[in-house]
């Protein structure tokens, strides 16, 4: 990989390579040291899941659109090498920002106000669409938990239409770095155009906070996050659709569990607990 990248003109690839942890689908390395440190991301051939696609083209599209912002890594380049599709961007120094909920809210709000690039996949909003996506996931599942989820399926409701915005698509705690100037979103392999509630619900998901963070957020942290986001119409709609998002995420966790990722069983239990609250 190093030799192919250097031959393609990316001299930064000559530095020392060390693997970065956290990613479940793709392989990621930190290359070099100092201000010129880069990240090399080698994409798996896995296409991702229904909720979280894995597209090198879409990640390059998003990073190029955000090049002049400070909320995403600086894009360097993308190419196809013998090992697969490879993406290069500038390393972001910082700590995981998952518990600094006000910073996360601020970076998501900034992203949602940023002009989206042409060509993003579109996520249709509303309770009916969320339920349809969950139905498609559950159709691939079997067993008692599937029957339980079907019994807990929320009804379709009417909500105010959302203005489609630029979405990260996967803002889990490990994908948000707290740099010196604020939070930065990384791992952009599933950006989209859609309801901002999609990003908010993913970050707030007890399953995602447990699988990619330190456990579910407290009621106080959730409220701090929504207050910092400070978009009352959006947060009101999120409240109306919260059970629908929990139900769809539970279906996702069940599918992952049935496909060999046992740690998602805890995520499933947490989402079910939200659905079964009186």
Domain extent listing, the chain: 2-93, 96-275
CA–CA separation, 166 and 113 (whole Å): 7
Residue with tokens 């995520």: 267
Q: Binning pLDDT at 50, 70 and 90, where does residue 25 land? A: confident
Share of the chain above pLDDT 70, in %: 99
CA–CA separation, 230 and 228 (whole Å): 5
Residue 126 has pLDDT above 90, yes or no: yes
Sign of the dihedral defined by the CA atoms of residues 189, 95, 194, 215, in that order: positive
Q: How many CB atoms lie within 10 A of CB 75?
A: 20
pLDDT for 50-87, tens place per residue? Answer: 999 999 999 999 999 999 899 999 999 999 999 999 99
Say if 2-93 and 96-275 have the same CATH topology. Answer: no
Residue 22 has pLDDT above 80, yes or no: no
Residue 148 has pLDDT above 80, yes or no: yes
Taking domain 96-275, whether its CATH number is 2.60.120.260 is answered by no
User: What fold characterizes domain 2-93?
Assistant: Phosphorylase Kinase; domain 1 (3.30.200)
The torsion region of residue 5 among left (phi > 0), alpha (psi -120 to 50) and beta comes to alpha
């Amino acid at each position: 990989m190093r030799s192919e990248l250097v031959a393609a003109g990316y001299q930064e690839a000559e530095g020392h390579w060390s693997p970065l942890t956290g990613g479940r689908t793709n392989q990621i390395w930190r290359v070099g040291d100092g201000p010129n440190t880069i990240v090399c991301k080698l994409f798996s051939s896995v296409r991702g899941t229904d909720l979280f696609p894995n597209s090198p083209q879409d990640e390059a599209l998003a990073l190029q659109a955000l090049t002049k912002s400070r909320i995403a890594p600086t894009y360097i380049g993308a190419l196809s090498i013998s090992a697969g599709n490879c993406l290069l961007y500038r390393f972001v120094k910082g700590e995981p920002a998952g518990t600094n909920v006000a910073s996360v809210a601020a970076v998501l709000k900034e992203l949602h106000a940023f002009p989206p690039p042409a060509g993003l996949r579109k996520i249709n909003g509303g309770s009916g669409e969320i339920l349809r996506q969950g139905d498609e996931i559950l159709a691939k599942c079997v067993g008692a938990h599937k029957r339980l989820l079907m019994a807990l399926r929320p009804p379709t409701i009417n909500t105010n239409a959302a203005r489609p915005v630029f979405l990260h698509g996967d803002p889990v705690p490990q994908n948000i770095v707290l740099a010196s100037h604020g939070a930065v979103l990384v791992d952009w392999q599933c950006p989209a155009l859609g309801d901002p509630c999609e990003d908010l619900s993913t970050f707030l998901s007890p399953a995602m906070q447990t699988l990619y963070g330190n456990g579910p957020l407290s009621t106080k942290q959730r409220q701090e996050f929504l207050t910092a986001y400070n978009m009352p119409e959006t947060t009101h709609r999120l409240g109306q659709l919260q059970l629908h998002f929990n139900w769809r995420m539970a279906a996702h966790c069940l599918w992952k569990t049935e496909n060999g990722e046992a740690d998602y069983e805890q995520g499933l239990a947490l989402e079910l607990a939200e659905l079964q609250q009186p």
